[in-house]
Amino acid sequence: MKYEIVEIPTKTMAGISIRTTNENMQAVNDIGKLWEEFWNKNIFSFTENKKNNKMYGVYTNYEGDFTKPYDFYACCEVSSEGNNNDEFSVISVPESKYAKFSLRGNYDEAAEKLWNTIWETKLDRKYTYDFEVYHNDGNDPENLLLEIYVAVN
Protein backbone atom coordinates (compact mmCIF):
# COMPACT_ATOMS: atom_id res chain seq x y z
CA MET A 1 0.00 0.00 0.00
CA LYS A 2 1.35 3.41 -0.94
CA TYR A 3 1.78 6.31 1.42
CA GLU A 4 2.94 9.89 1.10
CA ILE A 5 5.17 12.02 3.31
CA VAL A 6 3.43 15.21 4.49
CA GLU A 7 4.11 18.08 6.90
CA ILE A 8 1.27 18.64 9.39
CA PRO A 9 0.98 21.76 11.56
CA THR A 10 0.34 21.59 15.31
CA LYS A 11 -3.16 20.37 16.23
CA THR A 12 -4.94 20.80 19.57
CA MET A 13 -7.17 17.88 20.55
CA ALA A 14 -9.75 17.37 23.31
CA GLY A 15 -11.20 14.03 24.37
CA ILE A 16 -10.69 11.03 26.62
CA SER A 17 -7.74 8.69 26.98
CA ILE A 18 -6.49 5.32 28.15
CA ARG A 19 -3.09 3.69 28.65
CA THR A 20 -2.84 0.44 26.70
CA THR A 21 -0.55 -1.96 24.85
CA ASN A 22 -0.72 -4.11 21.73
CA GLU A 23 0.38 -7.16 23.73
CA ASN A 24 -2.20 -9.97 23.83
CA MET A 25 -4.59 -7.83 21.74
CA GLN A 26 -5.28 -5.65 24.80
CA ALA A 27 -5.39 -2.45 22.71
CA VAL A 28 -8.22 -3.81 20.56
CA ASN A 29 -10.39 -4.19 23.66
CA ASP A 30 -9.22 -1.03 25.42
CA ILE A 31 -9.55 1.24 22.40
CA GLY A 32 -12.91 -0.28 21.48
CA LYS A 33 -14.20 0.44 25.00
CA LEU A 34 -12.84 3.98 24.88
CA TRP A 35 -14.63 4.70 21.57
CA GLU A 36 -17.79 3.22 23.09
CA GLU A 37 -17.44 5.61 26.06
CA PHE A 38 -16.78 8.47 23.61
CA TRP A 39 -20.16 7.78 21.94
CA ASN A 40 -22.13 6.87 25.08
CA LYS A 41 -21.11 10.11 26.81
CA ASN A 42 -21.78 12.07 23.59
CA ILE A 43 -18.30 13.58 23.79
CA PHE A 44 -18.32 14.61 20.13
CA SER A 45 -21.37 16.81 20.71
CA PHE A 46 -20.14 18.23 24.04
CA THR A 47 -16.70 19.21 22.77
CA GLU A 48 -16.58 22.98 22.37
CA ASN A 49 -14.59 24.89 19.74
CA LYS A 50 -14.43 21.93 17.31
CA LYS A 51 -12.56 22.82 14.12
CA ASN A 52 -14.35 20.22 11.99
CA ASN A 53 -16.69 17.20 12.08
CA LYS A 54 -13.89 14.64 12.12
CA MET A 55 -12.96 12.29 14.94
CA TYR A 56 -9.37 11.53 15.83
CA GLY A 57 -7.53 8.69 17.49
CA VAL A 58 -4.17 9.87 18.84
CA TYR A 59 -1.32 7.59 19.95
CA THR A 60 1.45 9.03 22.12
CA ASN A 61 3.73 8.54 25.14
CA TYR A 62 5.16 5.36 23.66
CA GLU A 63 7.46 3.41 26.00
CA GLY A 64 9.30 2.09 22.96
CA ASP A 65 8.02 0.84 19.63
CA PHE A 66 4.43 -0.18 18.80
CA THR A 67 4.77 -3.36 20.89
CA LYS A 68 5.22 -1.36 24.12
CA PRO A 69 2.60 0.54 26.18
CA TYR A 70 1.29 3.91 24.94
CA ASP A 71 -1.55 6.38 25.52
CA PHE A 72 -4.55 6.49 23.19
CA TYR A 73 -6.95 9.44 22.93
CA ALA A 74 -10.41 9.39 21.31
CA CYS A 75 -10.88 13.06 20.53
CA CYS A 76 -11.83 16.02 18.36
CA GLU A 77 -9.62 18.77 16.97
CA VAL A 78 -10.36 22.06 18.71
CA SER A 79 -9.43 25.64 17.95
CA SER A 80 -8.24 26.41 21.47
CA GLU A 81 -7.61 24.79 24.83
CA GLY A 82 -10.15 26.98 26.64
CA ASN A 83 -13.83 26.41 27.29
CA ASN A 84 -13.76 22.63 27.13
CA ASN A 85 -15.36 20.24 29.56
CA ASP A 86 -13.15 19.62 32.61
CA GLU A 87 -13.51 15.86 32.10
CA PHE A 88 -11.68 16.06 28.77
CA SER A 89 -7.96 15.75 28.30
CA VAL A 90 -6.46 18.42 26.04
CA ILE A 91 -3.29 17.56 24.14
CA SER A 92 -1.22 19.27 21.50
CA VAL A 93 0.00 17.18 18.59
CA PRO A 94 3.17 18.99 17.46
CA GLU A 95 4.05 20.01 13.94
CA SER A 96 5.94 17.18 12.30
CA LYS A 97 6.61 15.13 9.21
CA TYR A 98 4.25 12.15 8.82
CA ALA A 99 3.76 9.15 6.59
CA LYS A 100 0.10 9.39 5.52
CA PHE A 101 -1.84 6.20 4.78
CA SER A 102 -5.43 6.35 3.44
CA LEU A 103 -8.17 3.81 2.87
CA ARG A 104 -11.91 3.86 2.22
CA GLY A 105 -14.11 1.24 3.83
CA ASN A 106 -15.66 0.20 7.12
CA TYR A 107 -13.74 2.03 9.84
CA ASP A 108 -12.96 -1.03 11.97
CA GLU A 109 -11.72 -3.07 9.02
CA ALA A 110 -9.88 -0.13 7.45
CA ALA A 111 -8.07 0.69 10.71
CA GLU A 112 -6.94 -2.91 11.18
CA LYS A 113 -5.75 -3.17 7.57
CA LEU A 114 -3.89 0.16 7.67
CA TRP A 115 -2.15 -0.55 11.00
CA ASN A 116 -1.08 -4.00 9.80
CA THR A 117 0.35 -2.35 6.66
CA ILE A 118 2.13 0.31 8.75
CA TRP A 119 3.69 -2.29 11.05
CA GLU A 120 5.00 -4.20 8.01
CA THR A 121 6.31 -1.07 6.23
CA LYS A 122 9.91 -0.02 6.80
CA LEU A 123 9.51 3.49 8.20
CA ASP A 124 11.91 5.55 10.28
CA ARG A 125 9.25 6.16 12.94
CA LYS A 126 9.62 8.71 15.72
CA TYR A 127 7.14 7.11 18.15
CA THR A 128 6.08 10.56 19.37
CA TYR A 129 2.55 11.19 18.05
CA ASP A 130 0.60 9.19 15.50
CA PHE A 131 -3.04 9.80 14.70
CA GLU A 132 -6.07 8.50 12.85
CA VAL A 133 -8.56 10.81 11.13
CA TYR A 134 -12.11 9.52 10.77
CA HIS A 135 -13.63 11.81 8.12
CA ASN A 136 -17.34 10.97 8.64
CA ASP A 137 -17.75 11.73 4.96
CA GLY A 138 -20.85 9.85 3.92
CA ASN A 139 -23.81 7.68 4.75
CA ASP A 140 -22.34 4.43 3.47
CA PRO A 141 -20.51 2.81 6.44
CA GLU A 142 -18.60 0.59 4.02
CA ASN A 143 -17.11 3.55 2.10
CA LEU A 144 -15.79 6.03 4.69
CA LEU A 145 -12.36 7.68 4.49
CA LEU A 146 -9.81 6.85 7.18
CA GLU A 147 -6.34 8.36 7.21
CA ILE A 148 -3.51 7.38 9.53
CA TYR A 149 -0.55 9.70 10.07
CA VAL A 150 2.63 8.18 11.49
CA ALA A 151 5.39 10.53 12.70
CA VAL A 152 8.63 9.91 10.83
CA ASN A 153 12.16 11.34 10.90
For 67-96, write each residue's pLDDT tens digit: 999 999 999 999 976 555 677 899 999 999
Tens of pLDDT along the chain (153 residues) come to 799 999 999 999 999 999 999 999 899 999 999 999 999 999 999 888 899 999 999 999 999 999 999 999 999 999 976 555 677 899 999 999 999 999 999 998 999 999 999 999 999 999 999 999 999 888 898 999 999 999 999
How do the domains of the chain map onto residue ranges?
4-152
Q: What is the largest CA-CA distance in the chain?
A: 41
Query: Is the pTM of the predicted complex or chain greater than 0.85?
Result: yes
Contacts of 72 (CB under 8 A, 6+ apart): 17, 18, 19, 20, 27, 30, 31, 34, 57, 58, 59
For domain 4-152, the CATH architecture is Alpha-Beta Barrel (3.20)
Q: What is the pLDDT of residue 145?
A: 95
- Amino acid symbol at 132: E
Q: What is the pLDDT of residue 138?
A: 83
Q: What is the pLDDT of residue 83?
A: 53
